[in-house]
Amino acid sequence: MRVTAFTVRLAFGLLFCLPVQAADQPLTLDAVLATADEHHPDLDAAQAQADLARASALLAESQRDFRATLTGRLGNGHNPVLDGYAADNYASLDVRKLIYDGDRTTLDAKAAALEAEGSQDMYLDARAQRRLALMTRFFDVLLTDMQYAVDNELSAVAYVTYDNGRDRLKVGQISSVQLAELQARYQDFRIKRENDQRLERVKRGLLANAMNQPDQLPSQLAEPDLKLDNHPLPDLSVLDAALDANNPRLLAQAKLLQAAHKRLAAQRAGTDPSLEIAAGTATYSRESKTRDDLHIGLNLTWPLFQGRQNDALVAQARARTELLQARYDRLHMDLHQALRETYEEIEYLRNGARPAAEVNSDYRGQALDRARAEYELELKTNLGTSMADIQAARLRRKKVDYQLALAFEKLDGLLGQPLRSIEAGKTEGTK
C-alpha cells in the first residue's frame, strides 16, 4: 500500500501530542489579561515598593506631630537628710511640638510624599508591562503551535518522498546517494518538528509563569479577535505630548527629581535654628524645692558651627539632584525614541508587512487549490508541500498581526493611557 502524506501527518499527530494539562475550554486572551492585576512576583514587588514609599512619607510627616511621653519610676533609696531608706517614686507626662526648624521637616515631608507618588506611578508602569508580557507569552504559544503545524507537514512530505525513494531504488530509478539525501532531508525536518514540540512545552510554561499559575500549563488557546483595523493613529506630535503628560515612568522620575530639589533645600537649611514648645506635669513621692509639678517652655537648638559637615551634605544633595536630572533627561529621550520606533513599526506593519502577508496567503490558497486539482488528476504529487506552504503563509500573516497587536499595547504603555482616549480627544486616563 502506498504511503500518503495525510497518513503520515495523522500518525505524527498521534505520536507527538503535547503532554500538557487538559482544559475544558480553550484559554482566551481576555482570560490571560484578566490576571494582570492578580498576584505575581513582579507586580507584588512594585506594590511593596509603593507601600514602602508611603510608609516613609508617613514617617516624614510624623516629625511635625505632637509627641507625648509618659515616664515613671518606683524605687527606694538611702537619703542622709531623711536619715534612712525612703520611697523615691515619680511619674511625669511631657508634651513636645516642633514649631520652627527652617522648614526642614516640611520640605522632607513634601519630598517623601513626592517619592510615594512616584512609586505609585511605577506600579502603574509595572502593570502595563505585565499586560505586555502576558500578550507576548500568549502569542508565542500560538506562533509555536503554528510553526509545529508547518514543520509537521513538511516532515510528512519528506517522509513520503523518502519512503517512495526506497521503492524507486529497488527498480533502479535513483541511486543510493540520492536516497541518502532524501533520508537526511527527512531527518532534518523530523528534528525540527521535535524541537518545535519542545518549544511548545517551554512556551506554555512561560505563559503559565506569566499568569502566576506555574502548575497549570494550558492545552488549547483560542485565536483572539484583535480588531486591528479599529486603531487610527494620531499625528506623532500629539502622541509626544500625551507621553509627556501621562507616561508613568516619566512622571515617576519627574517626582523623584522634584523630591531631590526639596531635599536639597532642606539640607541648605541645616544650619537654621529649631524651636520646640515643651510642657509637662509630674508627681513625686519625695518632696523637694527643686522639683516642678508643672512646667512649660521653649527649647532652642542652633547649630552654630559644624565644621564642613553641612557643606558636604549640601554638596551630596546637589549631586543627587543633578544625577536625577540627568536620568530624567535620558529617560525622556529614550521614551520618545521608543514612541517614534513603535509608531514607525505600526505604520510599517499596517501599510507594508500586513498587506504583503495577505497577498502571500491568497497566493498560497490558490496554489493549494491548483495542487488539489492536479493531485486528483494524478498529474503531480505536490499536494503536501502546498499544504505546508499554506500553513507557512498563515503563520506569516498571524505573526504580523501579533506584532501589530503588541506594538499597539506597547504604545498604550508609553502613553500611559489607551490610544482610544487620545483618539477621543482625552488627555488623561488609565487602562
Does residue 424 form part of some domain? yes
pLDDT of res. 394: 83
What is the three-state SS of the chain? CCCCHHHHHHHHHHHCCCCCCCCCCCECHHHHHHHHHCCCHHHHHHHHHHHHHHHHHHHHHHCCCCEEEEEEECCEEEECCCCEEEECCEEEEEEEEEEECCCHHHHHHHHHHHHHHHHHHHHHHHHHHHHHHHHHHHHHHHHHHHHHHHHHHHHHHHHHHHHHHHHHHHCCCCCHHHHHHHHHHHHHHHHHHHHHHHHHHHHHHHHHHHCCCCCCCCCCECCCCCCHHHCCCCCHHHHHHHHHHHCHHHHHHHHHHHHHHHHHHHHHCCCCCEEEEEEEEEEECCCCCCCCCEEEEEEEECCCCECEHHHHHHHHHHHHHHHHHHHHHHHHHHHHHHHHHHHHHHHHHHHHHHHHHHHHHHHHHHHHHHHHHHHHCCCCCCHHHHHHHHHHHHHHHHHHHHHHHHHHHHHHHHHCCCHHHHHCCCCCCCC
pLDDT of res. 415: 95
Does residue 379 form part of some domain? yes
Q: Give the range of the structural domain holding residue 384, as residue numbers without chain letter.
A: 226-271+308-431
Does residue 375 form part of some domain? yes
Number of domains in the chain: 1
Does residue 329 form part of some domain? yes
Does residue 320 form part of some domain? yes
Does residue 333 form part of some domain? yes
The CATH number for 391's domain is 1.20.1600.10
pLDDT of res. 397: 86
pLDDT of res. 212: 94
Does residue 76 form part of some domain? no
pLDDT of res. 253: 97
Does residue 357 form part of some domain? yes
**Mean pLDDT per 10-residue interval, the chain, length 431 residues:** 48 46 75 94 94 95 93 84 77 94 93 96 95 96 93 87 88 90 91 94 96 92 85 89 96 97 94 94 84 90 90 96 97 97 92 74 53 47 63 84 94 92 57 40
